[in-house]
Structure 1
Amino acid sequence: MYCQVVEEESISSVSRKNFITQPAVTKQIRQLENMYGTKLFERDKGSLVPTKTGRQLYKIFKRIVFEYNQSFTVIDELKGEEDSSLKLGSSFTIGEYLLPALLGAFKKIHPDVDINLEVGSTPRVLKSLKENQIGVGLVEGLVEEGDTFKVKKFAEDELILVCSPNHVLSDTEQTIEVADLIDQKLIGREKNSGTRMFIEHVLKEHDISENIEFYMEFGSTQAIKGAVEANLGIAILSELAVRTELTNGTLVKIPIKDLMFNRDLWIVQRKDRFINAIEKKFIDFLYNEKW
């Protein structure tokens, strides 16, 4: 209950969600404050905000709740009662262009599994992992392992430069130079996306990142493809995402001399989280899949 009050910043909201009265919620908060001998919340512009002590207590309680929920998963598996739900998170490119076929193949092997997939930016996937909303994250963005996550490569992806068949670069019979990108209208994802961060990282390694600006930014790869097909600019996109367009000729690949956008795709998990049986099977499936 305490954690919910911190997250909702409202006693009334928590009381509605739990079908109890506001005084009952307030009483629990007061009991905690009396027990610890300190104030845990303050009012700020109508919201209930935890004090410094309250924030620290929230972290401790979240950890207790996490371990409590973990205990059921561990005991159920020891009893032979496996959880059949697979909660995944993935960044956009993986979720939209790679996972549909993979999950279909996995479902054929394990027809009883219930798959829940959350697709979002790399930071969003990592946040969901931290909050234990998902068990496995699949991202193309750069992730620091640190004390929180364990990160392991499961596949590779190549990003390529593409343009409209009507674009001037589509007539190029040979590769272009890296410097030729400077004068082009480059269209890309938003700054916190895994693809955008990777592109900027590669450009920085070639000392040209400061000379290149993104002419347009979109929140989805599909929107970028549409803009490029409309000849509004060029884009660096995952080869996975543009296979159909390259085949039907609505997009054209532009080779760049001495510049490759090859990246690894990563499985990310919490180091302190128990990985259930179905998650282990899915991870093994990814490692054994032929790419």
Structure 2
Amino acid sequence: MFEQQLIVFREVAETNNITLAAKKLHMSQPSISLQIQNLEEQYGIRFFDRSNKGVTLTQAGKIFNEKVREMLNILEETQHQVSAIYEDKRGLIQLGATLTIGEYILPHILGYLNRQRPDMDVKIKIANTLSIDQNVLEQRLNIGLIEGPLPKHKKFYAEKFWEDELVVVVPTSHPWANHDRISLEELSKERFVTREVGSGTRKVMEMALKERGLDPSELNITMELGSTEAIKQVVSAGLGFTIISALTVRRECDQKIFKALRIQDSPLYRPLSIITLAQSPQTKEEELFINLLRDHQLLSEILDQDYCSDSFESKIS
């Protein structure tokens, strides 16, 4: 509002004519007169002398006019600088992702995006859910991709983009590999390899088992490891079974290294979600990325395909 008054004042001072200033600013003459009147009342002094020939600046008006020009120049320069920064960042997406998403989903998506939009740059932080939440909250990241329960902070906007199934994984030489499903009761009879205490994957898994009537303490835990890859190595060596994301063993199952089994009668799922700040505007590139995640059919195809394949068609417009 104040900036508009300054613009009106500058135009009237330059033209010495309210009618002409109104035409240049595409405003009505009474509106121009009212803006000038409000400024004079605000400062308690007359800036213009009125006559039938037009208006002229008073001595106070001349001093004020110099300052108005300086202020508007600063505002316009600031606008240019801010716009320049925005232009520089239009092709940049700053996002964070938890481990499973960062290792097993993002490579496919980024490979796909690189073919469709080679001008787009993506900076990624891989961390646990708590860290990603905090970085989005503090605006160090614009988009967060997380596993499991959603943050409850009122500043977040969160939506599920994928439902990740947790499956029982055994080597193809294991007796269970002859089945597609397994009961909860059978799980406690075999050696169990799992993530360390505090892992988000383990927390979701334990909560899901409890909801289905199996106390995780009844499992025969023989190893607690700090990474999914370490667990996969141990399981492939025949040292036990694990419960992990189906996404993390797709390749090994296709190669007949592992067999993934669903929990009989009650499969285990966890949501994978997008989090952003509710009041934060998004660039075109960020909107494009989020819309891709919302397109479940396209995302399924991306995850199923070799993202380096020349045959994968463009579906982003």
How far has the Cα of 1:204 moved from its partner? 1.2
Separation (CA, whole Å) in 2 of partners of 1:194 and 1:73: 44
Tell me the residue number matched to 1:153.
160
> For the residues of structure 1 that align with 2:131 and 2:85, how far apart are their CA atoms?
32
1:23 corresponds in structure 2 to none
Deviation at 1:152, TM superposition (A): 0.3
**What's the offset of the Cα at 1:257?**
1.7
Structure 1 232/125 Cα, relative in aligned 2: closer, same or farther at 3 Å? same
Aligned mate of 1:199, from 194, 205, 208: 205
* Aligned residue among 169, 174, 182 for 1:167: 174
Q: Match for residue 222 of structure 1?
A: 229
Matched, 1:85 2:92: yes
SS at match of 1:226: helix
1:125 maps to a residue whose letter is I
Instruction: Tell me which residue corresponds to 1:179.
Output: 185
**SS of match in other structure, 1:187:** strand
Contact 2:169 2:260 in 1 (8 A): yes
Task: Render the CA deviation track for 1:248-278: whole Å, top value 9, x for unaligned.
Answer: 2221223432120122210011224333332
Rate the CA distance shift 1:245–1:82 in 2: closer, same or farther, 3 A: closer
CA positional deviation for 1:230: 0.9
Whether the 8 Å CA contact 1:123–1:192 is kept in 2: the answer is no
1: CA distance, partners of 2:137 / 2:79: 19
* Paired amino acid for 1:207: G
Task: Report the counterpart of residue 275 of structure 1 in structure 2.
Answer: 282
Larger Rg: 2
TM-score by length of 1: 0.67
1:164 & 1:180 partners in 2: Cα distance?
16
Query: 2:107 maps to which residue?
Result: 100
Percent identity between the aligned chains?
A: 31
Matched, 1:190 2:196: yes
CA–CA separation in structure 2 for the residues paired with 1:117 and 1:252 = 31
Which residue among 120, 129, 133 is the counterpart of 2:127? 120
CA distance in 2, matches of 1:152, 1:211: 34
- What do you get for the CA RMSD once the two structures are aligned? 2.7
| Paired positions, count | 220
CA distance in 1 between partners of 2:79 and 2:108 (Å): 32
Rounded to whole Å, the distance in 2 between the matches of 1:74 and 1:266 is 34
Unaligned runs of 5+ in 1: 1-70
Residue deviations 1:97-154 (CA, integer Å, cap 9, x gap): 1111111212223221211111122222212222322110111221233313211011
**Partner AA of 2:261 in structure 1:** I
Question: Hey, what's the Cα distance between the residues in 2 that align with 1:174 and 1:113?
Answer: 42
Q: Could you say which residue in structure 1 is the equivalent of 2:250?
A: 243
C-alpha deviation, 1:78, in angstroms: 11
- For structure 2, the 5+ residue unaligned runs are 1-77, 301-317
* Alpha-carbon spacing, 1:174–1:76, altered in 2? closer, same or farther (3 Å): closer
Q: Is the 8 A contact 1:139 1:194 kept in 2?
A: no
Q: Give distance in 2, aligned partners of 1:80 and 1:269.
A: 21
Deviation at 1:80, TM superposition (A): 6.1
* Equivalent position SS for 2:234: helix
- What one-letter code is carried by the residue in structure 2 that aligns with 1:277? K
- Mapping of 1:5-44 within 5 angstroms? none
* TM-score of the two chains, using structure 2 as the length reference: 0.62
